[in-house]
Structure formats: structure tokens, C-alpha cells
Amino acid sequence: MEFNGRARGEDEVELRKGSWTVEEDLLLVNYVAEHGEGRWDSLAREAGLKRTGKSCRLRWLNYLRPDLRRGNITPEEQLLILELHSRWGNRWSKIAQHMPGRTDNEIKNYWRTRVQKHAKQLRCDVDSKRFKDVVRHLWMPRLLERIRAASGSSAVSTHQSVNDPSTCKRPEEGDVELGEAKSASPESSNIVRSSSEASEVQVSTASVSDRFTNCDDAWFQETTGFGAYWPETLPSPGACDSWGWSMDLDQSGWEENLWSMEDTWLQQQI
DNA sequence: AAACAGTTCAACCGCACCGAG
DNA sequence: CCTCGGTGCGGTTGAACTGTT
């Protein structure tokens, strides 16, 4: 190909934009498989791609990497996103480091399309205390319940175990770190780099619900912002019925149901 | 079946940071 | 120091898809 040799100045090579074709994907995948990642500008040229290095990098990281998890964000991942976002804000790449197989772009899109959408529906800002309270006091516990229900664990109420110090345990030093990695460099974090490490995904996400249900008061408060007690303004764990909460754990309906709960909750806050 | 509205997500853009020279 | 190329990040856009009327 003419452009490959770049005999006539880079400017004359018309760079492509927009959606990637199968042929381009193949070129990129094959080139990376043979030469590895990095040096994206030269990679783009040498692979014969009429793309910028940035575009190649993005396509590889967000779509072509073999270790990506495809499919819907699971409740455990949602919980992790909520928790990490409450801690770090819009530090998507940092959050993604703790979510093996997920990209910062994916997480960011999830946040914008799902979380921000619901904040808008509730007529409050995602950064407002009001919305954060909704997330902490309703969404996260409900996610935990959903996770527990899905895992077929005992019928012990999430709220009860969360608020019962006798069942709580501070995370051990060697646990998968949810917060800022103390000694771990990005390279040594739990980012899954090969499919053989897929089981680590389970370890990582499963530990999230464990954190919420096996913690001591201080850790839980620090992590979720909940007090060591269930907030007075909230219904007690057993009071869901009186709120008209019949949590539908059906995949399609539960989230919508959740947001109607929030409306009710917000009204009671006023 | 068609038109329209709403949603999702891949991809782009601009900026900031970093290391090499 | 300064410049420059490479890279990474967060925000934004728009095409494609899905649901509704």
C-alpha cells in the first residue's frame, strides 16, 4: 500500500474516522498480537491503518482487548461503581482499575446513562447530598439484597446483618483492596490481564458484598456513609411492606421499582 | 408498517501529564 | 529549563438500536 511507506509526507494520508470496519479490526488485532501494544502512532502506520494512534489505542482498549468482559453490568459491579464513585468521583480510569474486564468508557457510560438519568428523574443533581443519600440508603442496600438473593444465600436481611456489629469484620490487610491501593502499583492491581485469571473477577466482585455485610461500624460508616444504625428517616428493614415496597427481583423490573421507592422516600424526607 | 422519541455506547475531542532529548 | 511526541483521562457527540404511538 502506498500510505504504508509514507513516501510522501504524513499530511497526504487521509485519516479515517468513525466506525471501525472488520478489516481494520483484524489489522489491529493481528499487529498487536505480533508486536504488542504501545507506540500507537507508529503502530497505526506500520499496521497499515489510516487511523490516528489515539484511535487505535481506544479501539484496542475499549473493544478489541481479549480480556474484556462483555454484557450487562452486574448488580455487584453496579454496587462497586457506586461505592468507588462515592469515593473518587469521576475518576473513571481509577474505578475501572478495580473492575477487571471493564473499561473506563463503559463505566462512564453506565454512570451517565443510568445513574444520571435517574438523578434527573428525581430532579436532583448527582452530586447533591439528596441524591447521594438515595444511593446510600436505598440503591446500595437493595443491590446487596439482590446480590444475596441471586447467590442463594440465607434469608438474613441485609439490613440486619449490616447493622449488627456482632457479625461485622474489618477487612483483612491482604483482602482485595477496595480503596486506594496502598502499595499496589497499577501493574500489581487486580486488573485481569488474561482470560486465565477470569476467576479473579468473581473474587473481586464477590468481596464487595462481603465488605458490606461483614464489616464493623466504623468501616461501614466510612465506606458507605451510613451511620452505625439504620437512619431513623428510613423504614426499618421489616417495614418495606408499609412503604409499598415489594421488591421485584426480576431482572427487568427491579431497577424501575427502586426509583419509585426513591420518590416515596424523598417525599417522606420533606 | 411507519414515524417518532428515547436510550445506549463506540468513538472523537481537547486538555493535561510525563519522559526523552 | 524548554520543546515535543506519546499517552491517558474526562467530557461530549452522534449513529445505531429499541421502544412507543
8 A C-beta contact, residue A208 and residue A80: yes
pLDDT at A213 over 50: no
Are the C-beta atoms of residues A45 and A6 closer than 8 Å to each other?
Answer: yes
Q: What is the mean pLDDT of residues A239-244?
A: 33
- By C1' distance from the Cα of A18, the closest nucleotide is B11
Residue A61 phi/psi, 5° resolution? Answer: -70, -40
The residue with greater pLDDT, A7 or A120, is A120
Architecture of the domain delimited by A22-64: Orthogonal Bundle (1.10)
Residue A23 has pLDDT above 70, yes or no: yes
Question: For residue A217, what is its C-alpha cell?
Answer: 461500624
Long-range contacts of the stretch A41-44 (C-beta < 8 A, 24+): none
Task: Determine the length of chain A.
Answer: 270
Give pLDDT, residue A250: 39
In whole angstroms, C17 C1' to A113 CA is: 15
Which of A48-57, A101-110, A246-255 has the lowest average pLDDT? A246-255
What percent of chain A has a predicted confidence (pLDDT) above 90?
Answer: 0
pLDDT for the residue numbered A153: 54
Enter the C-alpha cell of residue A195.
Answer: 482470560
pLDDT above 70 for A147? yes
> Nearest nucleotide by C1' from A53 CA?
C6
Is the pLDDT at A124 greater than 70, yes or no?
yes
What are the residue boundaries of the structural domains of chain A, listed by start? 22-64, 75-150
Nucleotides on strand C with an atom closer than 7 A to protein CB? Answer: 5-12, 15-16
Most confident of A6-15, A172-181, A251-260: A251-260
pLDDT value for A246: 34
Is residue A256 pLDDT above 60, yes or no? no
A257 CB-to-strand C distance under 7 Å:
no
> At the topology level of CATH, where does A75-150 sit?
Arc Repressor Mutant, subunit A (1.10.10)
pLDDT of residue A179: 32
Which nucleotide is at minimal CA–C1' distance from A42? Answer: C6
Average pLDDT over residues A76-96: 84
Q: Which residues contact A234 (CB under 8 A, 6 or more apart)?
A: A137, A265
Q: Which residues lie closer than 8 Å to A267 by C-beta, 6 or more apart?
A: none
> Comparing A22-64 with A75-150, is the CATH topology the same?
yes
pLDDT grade, residue A267 (50/70/90)?
low
Within 12-51 of chain A, which residues have Cβ less than 7 Å from strand B?
A: 16-20, 51
pLDDT in the model for residue A254: 55
Q: How confident is the model at residue A200 (pLDDT cuts 50, 70, 90)?
A: very low
Average pLDDT over residues A15-31: 87
pLDDT of A42 over the 80 cut = yes
Strands (E), chain A: none
Query: How far is residue A144 from each of residues A193, A232, A261, measured CA to CA in Å?
Result: 28, 20, 16
pLDDT band at A236; cut points 50, 70, 90: very low
pTM of the model: 0.65
The predicted structure's pLDDT at residue A132: 82
**What are the b/e assignments for A201-225, b being 16+ CB within 10 Å?**
beebbebbbebbbbbebebbeebbe
Q: How far apart are CA A177 and CA A266, in angstroms?
A: 33
Residues 6+ apart with CB under 8 A from A127: none
The residue to which cell 444504625 is assigned: A229
Our measurement of CA A15 to C1' B2, in angstroms, reads: 37
